[in-house]
Amino acid sequence: MAGSPLEHVVARASGLMLTDRAVDQVLDLLTATLLQAVPAACGAGITVVDRDRDEGHGGTTTAATGTLVETADAVQYRLAEGPCLTAWLTRRAVRVDVVATELRWPRWAQEVAALDVASVLSAPMVAGDLAVGSLKLYAHEPHAFASRDETTVNLFAAQGALLLASARTFRDAGRLSQDVRSVLVQRDALQRAAGLLMGRDGLTEQAALAHLAARAEQERTGVHQVAARVLTAHARQVAGR
């Protein structure tokens, strides 16, 4: 993988001690990098949902690029409704093209529109069977986000989920358990699968990751599962030669 903004974040995360401070620093970097990757956005943030909370309720903003994100997020937590919580609950990306006319969460829409937020894009942060929260973008203009932005947000969310899942398991166990090693294997598989596509098909890193994300969306599964299947198919092909 060659020098993309997402690779820079992954490189910073690799080998870190999984302390709360280190995780917070990487998540801050993740949101700041995502904001640069999607110029239409005016703010980016990460919502983490406590696994012990009732479904559909609660949440905290762990990383945010500004006070607008924190304020808009607080509306969702207070009302227990909105796109970020829905993305976490359904494990699917949620896009709001025009906040002012959004009917799915009318109370949330009314309050957030008053904050000069016109578009929202949120992706679930899922690692294996664990949904840890969601990653979101806010924009001042309506219809600010396109399908390519969904792909970008999904890729960033996948990396953030692995980091959070690793840190959570590490914190619970007090050491690197098998669960953490499994999560790190998933992250390595994603990187290796992208590298395989780059070498085999002459793709750029971004195109390879986008291909994996598109397959995951089409197959309604996680991008890490798709990466594992790509690597398995390649290994079988090599063994059969």
Sequence ranges of the domains in the chain:
5-173, 178-239
Asked if the domains at 5-173 and 178-239 fall in one CATH topology, the answer is no
Give me the residues paired with residue 133 across strands.
48, 125
Task: Output the six-digit token pair for 166.
Answer: 């690793």
Per-residue pLDDT at 101 exceeds 90 = yes
Predicted local distance difference test score (pLDDT) of residue 54: 43
Question: Within 10 Å of residue 185's Cβ, how many Cβ atoms?
Answer: 13
Q: Report which of residues 78 and 214 the model is more confident about.
A: 78
Per-residue pLDDT at 178 exceeds 80 = no
Predicted local distance difference test score (pLDDT) of residue 171: 53
Predicted local distance difference test score (pLDDT) of residue 69: 96
| Class of the domain covering 178-239 | mainly alpha
Predicted local distance difference test score (pLDDT) of residue 111: 96
Task: Output the six-digit token pair for 150.
Answer: 């969904």
Q: Which of 194, 157, 164, 191 is nearest to 179 (CA)?
A: 164
Task: Tell me, letter by letter, the H, E, C secondary structure of 92-125.
Answer: CCEEECCHHHCCCCHHHHHHHHCCCCCEEEEEEE
3-state secondary structure of 197: helix
Predicted local distance difference test score (pLDDT) of residue 2: 38
Q: What is the rounded average pLDDT of the residues 185-210? A: 81
Predicted local distance difference test score (pLDDT) of residue 16: 45
Residue 127 pLDDT level (bands cut at 50, 70, 90): confident
Predicted local distance difference test score (pLDDT) of residue 187: 67
Task: Output the six-digit token pair for 198.
Answer: 């780059």
β-pairing, 60-64 with 119-127? unpaired
Per-residue pLDDT at 51 exceeds 60 = no
C-alpha dihedral, 8 to 9 to 14 to 20, nearest 10°? 150
CA distances from 230 to 126, 156, 194 (A): 19, 20, 9
Cβ neighbours of residue 146 under 8 Å, at least 6 residues apart?
Answer: none
> What's the whole-number average pLDDT of the chain?
80
- Give the pTM: 0.66
Per-residue pLDDT at 233 exceeds 90 = no
Give me the residues paired with residue 155 across strands.
none
Per-residue pLDDT at 137 exceeds 50 = yes
Predicted local distance difference test score (pLDDT) of residue 183: 55
Give per-residue pLDDT as tens, 13-47: 444 444 556 677 778 888 998 998 999 999 999 99
Through-space distance between the first and last CA atoms of the chain, rounded to whole angstroms = 27
CA distance 74 to 68: 10
Predicted local distance difference test score (pLDDT) of residue 14: 47
CATH 3.30.450.40 assigned to domain 5-173? The reply is: yes
CA distances from 3 to 64, 176, 198, 201, 239 (A): 24, 29, 14, 19, 31
Q: What is the rounded average pLDDT of the residues 100-106? A: 95
Percent of the chain at pLDDT > 70 equals 77
β-pairing, 119-127 with 130-139? antiparallel
Q: What is the rounded average pLDDT of the residues 76-80? A: 91
Any idea which residue has 């870190």 for tokens? 16
Per-residue pLDDT at 146 exceeds 70 = yes
Residue 53 pLDDT level (bands cut at 50, 70, 90): very low
Predicted local distance difference test score (pLDDT) of residue 95: 97
Per-residue pLDDT at 105 exceeds 50 = yes
